[in-house]
Chains A and B, each alone.
Chain A
Amino acid sequence: MFEYAFMVNAFAASGVVALVAGLVGYFLVMREQTFAGHALSHVGFTGATGAVLLGIAPLWGLVGFTLLAGVGMGMLGGRLAGRDVAIGVVLSLSLGFGLLFLHFYTAYATQATALLFGNVLGVDHPTLVVLVVLGAVCLTALAFILRPLVFATLQPELAEAKGISLRRVGVVFLGVVALATAACAQIVGVLLVFTLMVGPAAAAQNLTGRLGRGLALAALLALAQAWLGLTLAYYTNWPTSFWITALSAAVYGLSVLAQRR
């Protein structure tokens, strides 16, 4: 299957995105902010459709809107905790606006499907370059805040007493999540970002209690899901995103069983 350039691009793009999603997702799960991550991807949908309407590449609309929303959520900080309803309202409003923008831009229905459910086989070389840059920015920022992030996540009050600004850590982290979400949406679509970001990370946290191993496992599982999903899609001709979600659910399910034993 590697004789096709689009398959090579797809493997490279999904590989980069899976690594980033697995690592960022590990902390998203640990911080119990998965719903915020989900909301970010929906806000990204508004940005992407708005960008299409303005004649800009949807990826930039996606990146711009998720980043803005991520930083905004981080600034609200603790006040956002437990505000599932507020996040839910913003989330559906975003999808609503996205729909409105698509309504004005009548040309493509495929555009909507690609945004919502991903189009990894359509990744061209310039998009791949952008994804690699996004991934590098995410991982660099994550490496930089790693230690305070873990401390602030596991023992927030103690971290505050040691002089860590919980808000600053929260803003930088949600900024990273926003970029990872935008990258992830290119592969599996805004509706299925969870499948690469949360599934592997949650499974990894069920399987090991060690921080370093957990991180590595989350990245590996995400990578395996993405590549195996692509391979299965190639041979069955079913959508890649379906296979990735199926594998994600299977791995998570097995991790729950393994934990029970």
Chain B
Amino acid sequence: MSEPALEFEQVTLSLPGRTVLQDVSLRIDAGQFVGVLGPNGAGKTTLMRALLGLVSPSAGNIRVLGEALGKYAARGNPRIGYMPQTRSSAVGRRLRGRDFVTCAAYGQRWGRPWGDASVRHAVDRALEKVGAETLAQRPLADMSGGERQRLLLAQCLLGEPDILLLDEPLISLDPTHQKGVVDLVRQVQRDWGITVLFSAHELNPLLGALDRVLYLGHGRAALGTVDEVITGPVLSRLYGAPIEVERIHGRIFVMSGDCEVEKMDHQHDV
């Protein structure tokens, strides 16, 4: 458990016009389930894109599984599985689920898209892992949000990566489906011993599954257990405003004055 999966050394990440992370150093151990939280615009997506080599740090070094990022900048890192936040426009189509999953199997290579026996085997294995063998025979358009998320997860598992970056997989799912997705990711993560970065708006759906929380805000980051990070003083520093943390019946509410911070984020997101 002590092998580092991801290391940040005094990393500064900038987007045009603003700095997302300022001089952040942290280390995520292999095999952990890490919830990535923070207000909108705090840099959850940018952090993931940086790990994929799509955004270069303006200062500092990032290492993934002990390797510097530079070599992957142009051709992608096969050891990382990624679920982008922007949902593909394919979800509303008649396209069969299995064909959708398959498009990502060696999609970067030239050739025909439906694949040979090894591709079919890889797709079978990924679908089996998320329990979507039957589901994948149906068109995407006929699936519920939770079912589609299951297929997207299968798609990231192709190639059996060591690290999964899941960008807001719970967005627009109802609480039951949210729980289903979290449990499924947790199970895959344990079975395969992989490292998961799971970004979300709300902490509560993740509470049972988390090993660590990575909370981003105002260019800063805090990494630790829920009890270490989700406290008034730590979050006040990240939000740049006084924050109180309330715990009621095993659920945690992050409050700024009278407002619940996570609910405010949801409204901004529309």
Count of chain A residues with a beta carbon within 8 Å of a chain B beta carbon: 31
A85 an interface residue at 8 Å Cβ cutoff?
no
Contact A155–B75 (Cβ < 8 Å): no
- Given A208-B94, A210-B99, A259-B94, answer yes or no on A156-B88 (Cβ-Cβ < 8 Å): yes
Alpha-carbon gap, A161 to B84, bound state (A): 9
Contact B52–A147 (Cβ < 8 Å): no
B155 → chain A closest CB, angstroms? 7
As a 0/1 sequence over residues 139 to 181 of chain B, the CB contacts with chain A under 8 angstroms (1 = contact) are 1100000000000000100000000000000000000000000
Alpha-carbon gap, A211 to B114, bound state (A): 8
Interface centre among B49, B112, B113 (most CB of A within 10 A): B113
CB-CB < 8 A to A160: which residues of B? 54
Contact B94–A163 (Cβ < 8 Å): no
Interface of B is mostly: loop
A5 an interface residue at 8 Å Cβ cutoff?
no
Contact A148–B108 (Cβ < 8 Å): yes
A157 an interface residue at 8 Å Cβ cutoff?
yes
- Given A148-B107, A157-B84, A161-B52, answer yes or no on A209-B112 (Cβ-Cβ < 8 Å): no
- Given A150-B113, A211-B113, A212-B114, answer yes or no on A159-B107 (Cβ-Cβ < 8 Å): yes
As a 0/1 sequence over residues 217 to 261 of chain A, the CB contacts with chain B under 8 angstroms (1 = contact) are 000000000000000000000000000000000000000000100
Contact B111–A146 (Cβ < 8 Å): yes
In-complex Cβ contact of B112 among A146, A158, A162 (8 A): A146
A84 an interface residue at 8 Å Cβ cutoff?
no
Alpha-carbon gap, A152 to B83, bound state (A): 14
In-complex Cβ contact of B107 among A143, A144, A162 (8 A): A162
B33 an interface residue at 8 Å Cβ cutoff?
no
Contact A163–B113 (Cβ < 8 Å): no
Contact A209–B107 (Cβ < 8 Å): no
Contact A147–B82 (Cβ < 8 Å): no
A-B contact count (CB 8 A): 100
B104 an interface residue at 8 Å Cβ cutoff?
yes
Alpha-carbon gap, A161 to B54, bound state (A): 7
B258 → chain A closest CB, angstroms? 37
B101 → chain A closest CB, angstroms? 10
B118 an interface residue at 8 Å Cβ cutoff?
no
- Given A146-B111, A157-B84, A162-B76, answer yes or no on A151-B95 (Cβ-Cβ < 8 Å): no
A124 an interface residue at 8 Å Cβ cutoff?
no
Contact B74–A163 (Cβ < 8 Å): yes
Nearest neighbor of B111 in chain A, beta-carbon distance: A147
Contact A147–B113 (Cβ < 8 Å): yes
A130 an interface residue at 8 Å Cβ cutoff?
no
A241 → chain B closest CB, angstroms? 29
B129 an interface residue at 8 Å Cβ cutoff?
no
A171 an interface residue at 8 Å Cβ cutoff?
no
Contact B155–A155 (Cβ < 8 Å): yes
Count of chain B residues with a beta carbon within 8 Å of a chain A beta carbon: 36
Alpha-carbon gap, A10 to B150, bound state (A): 50
Contact A163–B109 (Cβ < 8 Å): no
Interface centre among A32, A146, A160, A209 (most CB of B within 10 A): A209
- Given A143-B112, A162-B108, answer yes or no on A155-B74 (Cβ-Cβ < 8 Å): no
A145 an interface residue at 8 Å Cβ cutoff?
yes
As a 0/1 sequence over residues 80 to 111 of chain B, the CB contacts with chain A under 8 angstroms (1 = contact) are 10111010111001111001101110111111
A240 → chain B closest CB, angstroms? 31
A206 an interface residue at 8 Å Cβ cutoff?
yes
- Given A160-B54, A161-B76, answer yes or no on A154-B88 (Cβ-Cβ < 8 Å): yes
CB-CB < 8 A to B83: which residues of A? 158
A46 an interface residue at 8 Å Cβ cutoff?
no
A205 an interface residue at 8 Å Cβ cutoff?
yes
- Given A155-B88, A162-B76, A163-B76, answer yes or no on A147-B106 (Cβ-Cβ < 8 Å): yes
Nearest neighbor of A155 in chain B, beta-carbon distance: B88
A53 an interface residue at 8 Å Cβ cutoff?
no
In-complex Cβ contact of B104 among A143, A155, A209 (8 A): A155
CB-CB < 8 A to A206: which residues of B? 94
13 A-B pairs with CB atoms under 8 Å apart are A32-B89, A144-B110, A145-B110, A147-B107, A155-B88, A159-B108, A163-B76, A164-B107, A164-B108, A205-B95, A209-B93, A209-B140, A211-B114
Residues of A bordering B, CB below 8 Å: 32, 143-164, 205-206, 208-212, 259
Residues of B bordering A, CB below 8 Å: 49, 52, 54, 72, 74-76, 80, 82-84, 86, 88-90, 93-96, 99-100, 102-104, 106-114, 139-140, 155
